[in-house]
Amino acid sequence: MEVEELEKRKSRKITSSSPSSALINNLDDGCLMHIFSFLSPIPDRYNTALVCHRWCYLACHPRLWLRVDRSVQDFSEPGVFPNIEEAVSAARPGDTILIAADGSHLASNIQIKKPLCLIGGGELPDETTVICLRGSDREKQPARLCCSFWWSSALEFLSTCKLTNLTVKAELGCCLLHRSGRLIIDECILQCESNPLDYLSCPIMSTAGSGVFPSNLKSDGDSISVSHTRIEGGAKAVLTSGDLALQQVRVIYARTSLYFWFDVGCR
């Protein structure tokens, strides 16, 4: 009896470790992709792409996220775009845009009017840089007048959005212009270039509720949430001209940088 029991246990172990027991792989591609859509893009969905060739194909499918990659030669590949503006234009509400690391991506006054998540493709935020050059895009879209001087920004938010693992630089003006919606900034670097006019620069500018830049888009609540983010340069970390005010500020002093946690909400 003992011998038979041992044989049964061995057979159970063999059966449980066999490939046929991995029931998740018996699901079709549509079901697997739907499951992957509930994973956070970084690091969970990124890690699923390392499991096998099939999971890599499904985890990187353009239905789950779009890619901005200037190194790609053939942009006929679905879901791949040469710049951020084209990716934002093609994105559907709720999409995730992965911005390739290595090199700078130019952005100037790009309006985001739908819920999106923008993620840097590097291991660290300083490996993926979005930069707004001074005077860039001035002919295409005139800069905006606010607080008695001209503002330009890399990205302009009119809907709930999330930024993570990115460096955003602005030579003059603001890195991020928040007009409405909930903006979440996590593990990013916001830099205003040092120059004689740096007192005119501000990493984050919010006009929500001010009426200066009225938005026709409905919002469930205007706010900004910043966590584990380096902020460098500019007159202030946040400049508000509407109903929002800085709240719950925490700062950690590292050897070479300051890391900020704070909210910007209703007064």
What is the model's pLDDT at position 20?
45
CA 141 – CA 82 distance, rounded (Å): 20
What is the model's pLDDT at position 195?
64
pTM of the model: 0.76
CA 67 – CA 84 distance, rounded (Å): 9
Whose CA is closest to 250, among 266, 241, 267, 237? 237
What is the model's pLDDT at position 218?
45
Residues of the chain with pLDDT under 70: 1-22, 42, 134-151, 194-199, 210-220, 267
What is the model's pLDDT at position 48?
85
Domain map (residue ranges) of the chain: 23-64, 65-136+151-266
- Interval 104-160: pLDDT, tens: 899 999 999 999 999 998 889 999 999 988 655 544 444 444 443 446 889 999 999
Whose CA is closest to 193, among 209, 214, 176, 172? 172
- Return the bridge partners of 205, or none: 177, 239
In 73-163, where does DSSP find H-type helix? 84-90
Sign of CA dihedral 13, 16, 17, 20: positive
What is the model's pLDDT at position 204?
93
What is the model's pLDDT at position 119?
92
CA 88 – CA 97 distance, rounded (Å): 8
Whose CA is closest to 241, among 266, 210, 201, 267? 210
State the fold for domain 23-64: Monooxygenase (1.20.1280)
What is the model's pLDDT at position 5?
62
